[in-house]
């Protein structure tokens, strides 16, 4: 019964998302695209945070490298978009493998510090390696061509791009969900609750954490690859630690205990951002205050609190 | 040879300044078991407060050096009582999240109060100019002063932790908070005090750094990463580790900047990665990984 309700709600939301370009003004197509991409970014973060219990403050590194990979490929090689997505996932995974290898060796305090530090290293490199990354200006002026070889969908049209993003994000989210539900995902959750016990069971905790981090890096890279053509630029800000703060807040806003929590959080986040930046440019301040209040008082997130309330009413 | 000596002195002034800041991070970690991600922001606020007192109110440098860090320590007490006390006893992740949120708030507040521009603080007249050292090395007097401050802080902190009652209480609270409480120590006061003391150290670093470096809203980000590298190299929570980590990083900056300017930026991270691979708990860290 409960599953049926969840499925019906999901189907309705999905139908609404598909229909969005025909029923809503242009502005909402942009908002919708942003929500979907950032939702995927946050969901990839939550695989590490909510499922594996590791707090990363450097997740923007993988998002950013996906964006840079896409921008560079589109600018210099003019490959089809699908190829960019694949390369961006590979780049995100590879970078996460290297950073993760060094960061999962010790406890969560070290993990948080090291991910922030290595994330800022990537930012500094992008900022100063001018010959490749064009420094603080970032890479712009690239054009979207075919989606796949010979498949021209005119991706430059925002409504078309929105539908492509929707398709990619739905597929990616489904894969992420299957990963979370698999025995691998179960082990990650066990590690979050009690790493000692899992390692006494004979499993290599470090290797599982590194695997989770690498998978998360791949999906963060994918979200960055979707974002670069949307923003029409890949800039160092996409790698900055304040970008890493966004999936942290989105996951906590939505609820880290739910697979769809980060997507829900991303929707709240983007709507709030577009509303608040209308009358103040101190968005980071608002972001910080919200994060602090959520951690202090609503640790289960909006979705969690909402579901508790709904279930309390029905049971 | 002159270049070598200059780089050596440089690694001392960079390193000892980093020590003062990183040891504050270590003290807070020792007592609260929290890595304060806003530590760099407190350093930056120290520098900006110093700048306001000196350049805008016309105070002498020395007065600013005393007053600005006390102001930041007071801010830390407020933050501790207003925000951090909510997460004492919760999972460590929550405290990391909360200091990270503080970092966002403090950084943006600085940008709102002082703007995004770059500010310069002149060194006091007494410390202006350069000094001719034996061996033909010409070195800024102010940087020698920074080395002096660093050494004085090193001696003072050592005496505090090894020779004074307050230092022993702090060490007791960091070793075993419950036992310290059972022995009648007001651990709550120790926690707030340690947080304020760590903030004070960061702010002293900020005021001292101000005449040597430009003041801008990105300076806190830079220093928190540097402090992380210091504590990872030296070993988190270790006093001698903070010193050794800071001197190693100072040397990497000073010699790397002189001899390998192309890759200078990534050298600290390579150093940190090497330490993580060989001795994951840091050069002075205890126990196995």
Which of B26, B98, B101 to mutate against chain A (most A CBs within 10 Å)?
B101
Predicted confidence (pLDDT) at residue A201 exceeds the cutoff of 60 = yes
Q: DSSP letter for B285, please.
A: -
Structure tokens at A50: 């909510």
DSSP letter at A151 equals B
Q: Where are the domains of chain A?
A: 29-237
The per-residue pLDDT for range A268-290, each reduced to its tens digit, is: 999 999 998 888 888 889 889 98
User: pLDDT tens digit string along A134-153?
Assistant: 888 888 888 888 888 877 88
The closest CB to that of B105, out of A105, A121, A289, belongs to: A289
Contact A291 B100 (CB under 8 A): yes
Q: How many CB atoms lie within 10 A of CB B9?
A: 18
**In chain B, % of residues over pLDDT 70:** 99
Please give the Cα distance from A260 to A35 (Å, whole number): 13
Question: What is the percent of chain A with per-residue pLDDT over 70, rounded to a whole number?
Answer: 98
Residues of chain B contacting residue A123, judged by C-beta atoms under 8 Å apart: none
Q: Where do the structural domains in chain B lie, given as residue ranges?
A: 15-216
CB distance B96 to A55 below 8 Å: yes
Question: pLDDT band at B286, cuts 50/70/90?
Answer: low
Contact A128 B265 (CB under 8 A): yes
Tokens of A221: 């890279």
Averaged pLDDT for residues A50-56: 92
Q: Is B70 helix (H, G, I), strand (E, B) or coil?
A: helix
Q: Distance between CA atoms of B110 and B41, rounded to whole angstroms?
A: 9
Residues on chain B touching A248 (C-beta within 8 angstroms)? 97, 100
Would you call A1 an interface residue with chain B, using a CB distance cutoff of 8 Å?
Answer: no
Whether B37 sits inside 8 A of A57 (CB atoms) is: yes
Query: Is residue B288 scored above 50 in pLDDT?
Result: no
Contact residues on chain A for B93, CB-CB shorter than 8 A: 53, 55, 108
CB contact under 8 A, B232 and A120: no
Digit-coded pLDDT (tens) for B89-126:
788 888 889 999 999 999 999 999 999 999 988 888 88
* B98 has a chain A CB within 8 A of its CB: yes
pLDDT given at position A1 = 65
**Closest Cα in chain A to B108:** A285
* Number of Cβ pairs < 8 A linking chain A and chain B: 102
pLDDT over threshold 50, residue B289: no
Asked if the C-beta of A29 comes within 8 angstroms of chain B's C-beta atoms, the answer is no
pLDDT tens for A229-268 read 999 999 999 999 989 999 999 999 998 888 999 999 999 9
> According to the model, what pLDDT value does residue A279 have?
84
Q: How far apart are CA B207 and CA B223, in angstroms?
A: 13
Average pLDDT across chain B, whole number: 90
DSSP label at residue A263: H
Give the span between the Cα atoms of B43 and B49, in whole angstroms: 10
Q: Do B37 and A124 touch (CB under 8 A)?
A: no
Q: Say if residue A315's pLDDT is above 50.
A: no
3-class state of residue B97 by DSSP? helix
The rounded distance, in Å, linking the Cα atoms of B249 and B232 is: 11
Considering only residues A47 and A78, tell me which one the structure prediction assigns the higher pLDDT: A47
Buried b (16+ CB within 10 A) or exposed e, B201-230: bbbbbbbbbbbbeebbbebbbbbbbbbbbb
Task: Fill in the DSSP letter of residue B124.
Answer: P
Q: Mean pLDDT lowest for which of A208-222, A229-243, B171-185, B214-228? A: B171-185
Q: What b/e sequence results for B63-91 when a residue is b if at least 16 CB atoms lie within 10 Å of its CB, and e otherwise?
A: ebbeebbebbbebbeebbeebbebbeeee
**Tokens standing for A87?**
């390369």
pLDDT at A278 (0 to 100): 86
Quote the ipTM score: 0.87
Residues of A in contact with B273 (CB under 8 A): 102
- Say what the pLDDT of residue A228 is: 94
Which of A295, A297, A300, A301 is best to mutate for the B interface (most B CBs within 10 A)? A295
SS3 A138: coil
Quick check: pTM over 0.80? yes
> What's the rounded Cα separation, in Å, for the pair A46 and A50?
5
SS3 A233: strand
Q: Helix, strand, coil proportions of chain B in percent (round to 5)?
A: 75, 5, 25
Interchain proximity A117–B232, CB inside 8 Å:
yes
Cβ neighbours of B94 in A, within 8 Å: 295, 299
Distance, in Å, from the CA atom of A88 to the CA atom of B186, rounded to the nearest integer, reads 54
């Amino acid at each position: 019964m409960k599953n049926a309700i969840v499925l019906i709600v999901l189907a309705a939301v999905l139908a609404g998302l598909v229909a969005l370009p025909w029923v809503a003004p242009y502005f909402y197509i942009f908002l919708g695209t942003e929500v979907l991409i950032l939702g995927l970014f946050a969901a990839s973060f939550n695989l590490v945070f909510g499922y594996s219990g590791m707090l990363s403050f450097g997740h923007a590194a993988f998002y950013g490298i996906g964006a840079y990979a896409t921008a560079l490929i589109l600018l210099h090689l003019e490959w089809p978009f699908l190829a960019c997505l694949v390369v961006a996932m590979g780049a995100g995974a590879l970078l996460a493998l290297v950073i993760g290898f060094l960061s999962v060796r010790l406890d969560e305090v070290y993990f948080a510090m090291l991910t922030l530090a290595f994330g800022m290293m990537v930012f500094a490199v992008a900022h100063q390696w001018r010959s490749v990354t064009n420094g603080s200006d970032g890479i712009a002026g690239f054009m979207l061509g075919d989606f796949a070889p010979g498949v021209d969908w005119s991706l430059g049209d925002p409504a078309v791009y929105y539908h492509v993003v929707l398709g990619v994000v739905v597929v990616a989210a489904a894969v992420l969900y299957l990963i979370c539900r698999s025995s691998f995902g179960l082990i990650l959750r066990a590690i979050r609750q009690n790493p000692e016990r899992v390692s006494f069971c004979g499993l290599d905790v470090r290797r599982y954490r590194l695997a989770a981090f690498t998978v998360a890096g791949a999906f963060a890279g994918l979200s960055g690859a979707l974002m670069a053509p949307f923003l029409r630029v890949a800039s160092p800000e996409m790698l900055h630690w304040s970008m890493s703060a966004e999936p942290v807040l989105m996951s906590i806003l939505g609820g880290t205990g739910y697979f769809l929590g980060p997507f829900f959080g991303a929707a709240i986040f983007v709507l709030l951002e577009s509303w608040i930046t209308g009358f103040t440019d101190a968005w980071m301040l608002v972001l910080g205050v919200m994060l602090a209040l959520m951690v202090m008082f609503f640790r289960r997130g909006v979705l969690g609190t909402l579901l508790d309330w709904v279930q309390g009413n029905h049971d | 040879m002159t270049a070598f000596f200059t780089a050596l002195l440089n690694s001392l002034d960079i390193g000892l300044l980093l020590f003062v800041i990183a040891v504050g991070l270590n003290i807070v970690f020792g007592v609260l078991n929290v890595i304060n991600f806003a530590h760099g922001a407190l350093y930056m606020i120290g520098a900006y407060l110093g700048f306001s007192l000196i350049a805008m109110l016309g105070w002498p440098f020395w007065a600013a050096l005393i007053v600005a860090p006390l102001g930041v320590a007071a801010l830390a007490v407020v933050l501790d009582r207003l925000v951090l006390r909510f997460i004492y006893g919760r999972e460590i992740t929550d405290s990391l999240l909360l200091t990270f949120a503080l970092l966002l708030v403090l950084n943006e507040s600085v940008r709102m109060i002082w703007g995004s521009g770059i500010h310069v603080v002149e060194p006091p007249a007494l410390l202006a100019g350069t000094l001719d050292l034996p061996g033909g090395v010409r070195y800024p007097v102010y940087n020698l002063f920074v080395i002096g401050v660093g050494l004085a802080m090193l001696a003072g902190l050592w005496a505090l932790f090894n020779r004074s009652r307050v230092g022993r209480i702090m060490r007791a609270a960091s070793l075993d908070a419950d036992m310290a409480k059972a022995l009648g120590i007001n651990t709550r006061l120790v926690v707030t005090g340690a947080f304020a003391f760590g903030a004070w150290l960061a702010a002293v670093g900020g005021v001292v750094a101000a005449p040597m470096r430009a003041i801008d809203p990105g300076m806190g980000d830079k220093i928190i990463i540097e402090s992380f590298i210091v504590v990872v190299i030296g070993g988190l929570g270790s006093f001698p580790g903070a010193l050794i980590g800071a001197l190693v990083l100072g040397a990497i900056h000073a010699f790397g900047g002189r001899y390998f300017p192309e890759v200078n930026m990534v050298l600290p991270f390579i150093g940190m990665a090497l330490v993580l691979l060989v001795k994951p708990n840091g050069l002075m860290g205890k126990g196995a990984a």
